[in-house]
Structure 1
Amino acid sequence: MSGATFLILLALSGGIFATGFFGLMARRAILFQLISLEMMLAGPALAFLAGGAWHGSQQGQAMFVFIIILAAAEVALGLALYLALRRGADVEDSDTITGLKH
């Protein structure tokens, strides 16, 4: 892998992370926030893959697998919470959750 390719992949991973962060801050719908969190996890995963390929080691791929497992757990937990809130209080917006104290 050339140095230019490595820098392009790092810039792309930073852009994916920044797009996910902007989506997390800008959107109030819980499902869109979950999608944005997935994008925020995909950025570092790509950076780990690029770093592993740059150094010629398998550690980048191992961290990628760890991030994918973490993302799957996050989605499972997030969707379970979303379905519980949707079923119990008909909530779709994350700002409405703060009013559900009682």
Structure 2
Amino acid sequence: MQQMQQIPDVIKLIPLNFYVLFSSALFCIGIVGVLTRRNAIIIFMSVELMLNAVNLLLAAFSSYRADPSGQIFVFFIMAVAAAEVAVGLAIIVMIYRNIQTIDVGILNKLKW
């Protein structure tokens, strides 16, 4: 009988170091976005970028070690992130309705 060749996983073709470097770069871009921007939506997107960088790294390590627990953990993180997006955008919309801007520098007026 002819032996079937196994198709290697795509994740195994790319070294793990590349995933670590790419995820680190995405996380750093997210940190810079949070620290330098004043727009609440851009800050919110930067936090999501950092979360996705962590998810990418978890999935890469999980696939590299052939352990599905990391990918299950990523699934639960994405479910929590979806709820976070819904609540966060609702808060941003309510802030915009009240003060007609989403600049975080203006939000210090909300203090007592």
Instruction: Report what 1:27 is aligned to.
Output: 37
Where structure 2 has 5 or more consecutive residues not aligned to the other structure, the ranges are: 1-11
- Give the structure-2-normalised TM-score: 0.83
- Partners of 1:91 and 1:78 lie apart in 2 by 15
Residue identity opposite 2:57 in structure 1: A
Matched, 1:65 2:75: yes
Looking at CA atoms only, which structure, 1 or 2, has the larger radius of gyration? 2
Q: Does structure 2 retain, via aligned residues, the 8 Å contact 1:6–1:54? A: yes
Q: Does structure 2 retain, via aligned residues, the 8 Å contact 1:91–1:97? A: no
Aligned-pair CA distance for 1:34: 0.8
Which one of 56, 60, 66 corresponds to residue 56 of structure 1? 66
1:62 match: secondary structure: helix
2:61 match: secondary structure: helix
- Give the structure-1-normalised TM-score: 0.91
Deviations 1:18-63 (A, max 9, x none): 1111101110000101110110101110000011011101012111
Moved more, 88-97 or 41-50: 88-97
Residue identity opposite 2:95 in structure 1: L
Aligned-pair CA distance for 1:74: 1.6
Residue identity opposite 1:96 in structure 2: I
| Count of aligned residue pairs for this structure pair | 101
Which segments of structure 1 move beyond 4 Å, counting only runs of 4 or more?
none
Q: Percent of aligned positions with the same letter in both sequences?
A: 29
Moved more, 41-50 or 87-96: 87-96
- Partners of 1:25 and 1:101 lie apart in 2 by 21
Matched, 1:46 2:56: yes
